[in-house]
Copies of this chain bind each other. A is one copy, B any other.
Amino acid sequence: MKIKNVTVAGGGVLGAQIAYITAFHGYNVTLWGRSEGSIERIKPRIERLHNIFSKELDLAPSYIGEENPDYPRSFFKDKSEITQEKIEELKKINDKIYKDLKYTTDLDEAFSNADLVIEAIAEIVDEKKAFYEKISTHLKEDTIVVSNSSTLIPSQFREYTKREDKFLNLHFANNIWRQNVAEVMKHDKTSDESFESVIEFAKSIGMYPAILKKEQAGYILNSLLVPLLDSALMLYGDDIAEPKDIDMDWKIGTGAPKGPFEIIDIVGITTVINITKASPKAQDPNSALAKAVKKLEERAEKGLKGVESGEGFYKYK
């Protein structure tokens, strides 16, 4: 199916980014919010994205050639595409879409013409179920529905969508114009056609589609990241090495830009405590992981919660 009209449901940080980048790549985008209040919270996020994209495009000439190896990969297919002409064209698009985005709380207006619905509402199972049921009667027969969930899997929700074969997950990373990877995960009832359409859609908005052929809790990225962070936390829990040394060893040894404890500071210690506590390896209170959770909790009580609180394992101005 040719996707033209895309509706993004939920205007949180990710919802706004997904809507914006989709519009930026030429789709007709509607943002649906549950209430007028939620619409009003979306608008400043979109405004901020308009500014960020403007700044990225102002910087873009420095990405031409070999000067700067980094560039916003969702804007340009490769470095050869970065030309003054292209930059000017994207600037015009950026200023236009900003005004053309549609906002609504009306279900029919939002969903009856959508070719693709991207659900980016809160990670609350019952809310998602209710949402899918509610929109199902408003959709066209061929609408594809995807969830941006980062933790839940499609088979939990598919029956509520009334279109199991046209439902799957499309999970974006934060700052998607730079971290341009989208995890596309099917379940065993997703049709090949819907799967392919969503993969093509992801490519068309400048994403690298990381394809999951089967359901996997944690998708790809968190399936790798959580064990890495757990291993670092175990060294810390058993008092084998200090976070700074663990980070430096990892960074120097692998060339990674961030060490595990820098990542923990970014994710936020409260979230890391919640995820880690649920791990089977943390159930024995004498385990290294349980001891690490205890140390994290002590730090959290002192307000050392990571980047957002200004200090975690490191200080942030």
Contacts and interface: CB of A to CB of B under 8 A. Distances in A.
B214 A239 contact: yes
A68 to B, nearest CB: 11
Interface residues of A, number: 45
Given A210-B245, A246-B220, A253-B173, A227 B225 contact: no
A232 B241 contact: no
A195 to B, nearest CB: 13
Contacts of A248: 181, 208, 210
B232 A246 contact: no
A80 interface: no
A256 B234 CA distance: 22
A211 B250 contact: no
A216 B235 contact: yes
A115 interface: no
A230 interface: yes
Contacts of A250: 220-221, 224
A223 interface: yes
Nearest to A178: B252
Interface of A: 73, 173, 179-181, 183, 208-214, 216, 220-221, 223-225, 227-228, 230-232, 234-235, 238-242, 245-246, 248-250, 252-258, 260, 263
